[in-house]
Structure 1
Amino acid sequence: MNMEVDFGGLFLHNSTYDYDDYEGKVEPVGGAVFVSVLHSLALAVGLFGNGVLLCVLALKRRSWSLSDTFILHLSVADVLLLLTLPLLATQAAHQFEWCFGSFFCKFSGAVFNINFYCGILLLVCISLDRYLSIVHGIQLYSQKRCRLFHISCLLVWLISLILPIPDWTFLEISQDNEQGKTLCVHLYSRSVTDWQLVSRLLHLTLGFLLPTAAIIICCSFILLQLQRSSKVPKTQRAFTRVILPLVGVFFLCWTPYNITLTVDTIRGSTGNTEGSLQTALMVTKALGCVHACLRPVLYLGLCGNFRRRALAMLGCDTVQHDGSLWELCVGEEAPSDQSPDEVEEQKQMMGDDQQVQSTQC
């Protein structure tokens, strides 16, 4: 009897599989869950915080200052981005598969960049105004230059609407035959490298590097002036305590995305793209979206005037003070070592500053 067993070449095909190219095909399950949760939390906190902020502004609309108007523009830009977060959260929950059609694909991508451009350009305007006021004693935005203020805000929105044109043009839904998914991606009609480079260079230079340099320069001179001179009015010092954290949180949220985008642009131009880099773009993009819910939290923690108004509104109470939400931001009383004359002089300066930024503008 023949007891030999024929394995049919079972051990003949024992070559190992090369996993070097598998990284780009791994489903980013952990990243997808993290992005989905992050978008959901940002949506809940952002809608509540910005809703309270807009209600507080609406209740004091008869006494708006220019700084309050800046807050309004920033809040509107944040609310626009928050409206797209349900789409992005659903996309992440479906392993980054897009389910909402071509229009919402373009809309979500464009609004994401509109929020970024509007936020950083408005911070440039605020920083420049504070720099001229504190360092040179020049009021860039005042009652006499009200038209300049509105022109600046209009230009910020126009630039923010023009720069995302590549998103409206090239963002499309596409079928990924390899993964069997519908994706929302940029589809460049001509040379991918040329159009992608132009689009990203505009974003990184006009949208990030140049405004960042302007903000850093202005804030540096402001800090130097505040350190050198003790004659800077209390209101301007208090305002600086708000604007500097706003700038810091903005760059903390948006810098990782722009660094990742720069790396992806450099590697894409050389033909070296990685799946992990695309996942990093998704995660850092979600971190940028989180910024839309952080500004009201900063106002609540730093601005005593806004905190009092918000708590009074939620408690159906009234607040008599009509000052700016950013001025008197610390909500502190005069130190005990100040003389009555100094306290009266401080109140007079605060009144003069609010009169300069009156709502007749």
Structure 2
Amino acid sequence: LSSWPLQGNQTNTSHCSLPSDNWTFTYVPVYVMVISVLGIALNIFVLMVFIFHKKPCSVPEIYLTNLAAADLLLVSFLPFWAVSAWKQFEWIFGSALCKMVNVGILMNVYCSIYFLVLVSIDRYLAVVHPLSHETIRRPKFAKISCLLVWILGFVLSVPKLINRELVPHDGIIKCAEKYDTIYATSEYMILVLAFIIPVSIITFCTVKILQTLRSRLMEGGKTKKKDKRATTLVLAVLLAFLICWLPFHLLKIPSRLKSAGILTSCSSEKTIYFCEQIFLYLAFFNSVLNPILYVIAGNSFREKVKELLTQWDRKRSSTISLTSTRTTFLRSVKSQRDIVY
């Protein structure tokens, strides 16, 4: 990704250099660190609720759990991004992390969108075809699908693993990417496989879901309360994803024109660069927004939180009661010994 950590690619910066006090070197690192801290805390909270709750996760919750894991992967790598931005794109973390950070962030792009594809298909089958495809909508199938998505995400991120390297530039070392066939192929893969195809599938499923719910409402039919709640949460997460990621992917069009040498002026390059930065930070915010949506739009998730807190409170009370009983017993034994002796 041409604007990913941290621009580093050898664009025509020789005649379009940025001043040292530019906002991308000052405010951005603070913003990214805040997103990282919030994202780590919120996504760990979501994972704890889904994993430690006594009831097994439903199929949509399995997909949302993996989505939270993908978001956690992204925000865990952002502190390296922030430090590099603060040092005006200088990379001080070595070659291995240069590759790992980029692969980890790109894996989030692929995995998160395909987890949303899976959850969209599940809601489509649950609402539009509720009496068929029961085999596909089983937890075992959901877990296998998630594993395949993680594998696919890593495989599609391999070009970044190969192409990222440390290069000297303007007296500093940058984590940069070579502009070659691998780079061009990777960029088109991201556009097609991480945006056009999955968004088309999600759009189809969403339109069919909304049409079905509308027709049932007009006919006076009933929709299961559980399915309605799950569908509301899924639609909220899908909408948030599109709002956060759509501008970034659409900006690929002028970026490709720049790479093709059509947009060559310094002003156009700077405009594309600043838009890339703004849209990229908006995309990063999606990893913080998802856990918030679980709480706001997810009635089932809020119930799980309450049940989990009650569960932990009971365990705590039981532990305190056991400790108290043990202390009382030991005191009784001690007093009996004192009477005997």
1:287 CA displacement: 2.2
1:100 to 74, 93, 96: 93
Q: Deviations over 1:63-87 (max 9, x none)?
A: 3222221122111111111110110
Structure 1 outlier segments of 4+, above 4 Å = 138-147, 311-316
What is the aligned partner in structure 1 of residue 211 from structure 2?
A: 224
1:159 to 152, 161, 165: 152
| Contact map agreement 2:244 2:283 (CA 8 A) in 1 | yes
SS of residue matched to 1:80: helix
SS of residue matched to 1:172: strand
- Gaps of at least 5 residues in structure 2 are 1-12, 316-341
CA distance in 1, matches of 2:130, 2:303: 30
Stretch moving more, 265-274 or 308-317: 308-317
1:31 CA displacement: 2.4
CA distance in 2, matches of 1:148, 1:39: 36
In the alignment, residue 291 of structure 2 is paired with which amino acid? P
In the alignment, residue 266 of structure 1 is paired with which amino acid? L
What is the aligned partner in structure 2 of residue 330 from structure 1?
A: none
What is the aligned partner in structure 2 of residue 183 from structure 1?
A: 174
What is the aligned partner in structure 1 of residue 235 from structure 2?
A: 244
CA distance in 2, matches of 1:65, 1:212: 24
Q: Deviations over 1:219-254 (max 9, x none)?
A: 011001111113322222211210111001111111
1:210 partnered with 2:197: yes
CA distance in 2, matches of 1:138, 1:195: 46
In the alignment, residue 257 of structure 2 is paired with which amino acid? I
| Contact map agreement 2:127 2:209 (CA 8 A) in 1 | yes
1:253 partnered with 2:249: no
Relative to the length of structure 1, the TM-score reads 0.74
| Contact map agreement 1:299 1:306 (CA 8 A) in 2 | yes
| Contact map agreement 1:42 1:290 (CA 8 A) in 2 | yes
User: How many residue pairs were aligned?
Assistant: 293
- Gaps of at least 5 residues in structure 1 are 1-20, 320-361
| Contact map agreement 1:129 1:140 (CA 8 A) in 2 | no
The CA RMSD measured in Å over matched residues stands at: 2.5
SS of residue matched to 2:130: coil
Residue 61 to residue 164, structure 1, CA distance change in 2 (3 Å)? farther
Query: Structure 2 matches for 1:1-361, cutoff 5 A?
Result: 24-27=16-19, 29-138=22-131, 140=133, 142=135, 145-177=138-170, 180-188=171-179, 192=180, 194-229=181-216, 230-270=221-261, 272-273=263-264, 274-310=269-305, 317=313
CA distance in 2, matches of 1:144, 1:134: 12
In the alignment, residue 245 of structure 2 is paired with which amino acid? W
Stretch moving more, 125-134 or 55-64: 55-64
1:197 CA displacement: 2.3
1:99 CA displacement: 1.7
Relative to the length of structure 2, the TM-score reads 0.78
In the alignment, residue 291 of structure 1 is paired with which amino acid? N
More helix by share: 2
SS of residue matched to 2:263: coil
Residue 207 to residue 149, structure 1, CA distance change in 2 (3 Å)? same
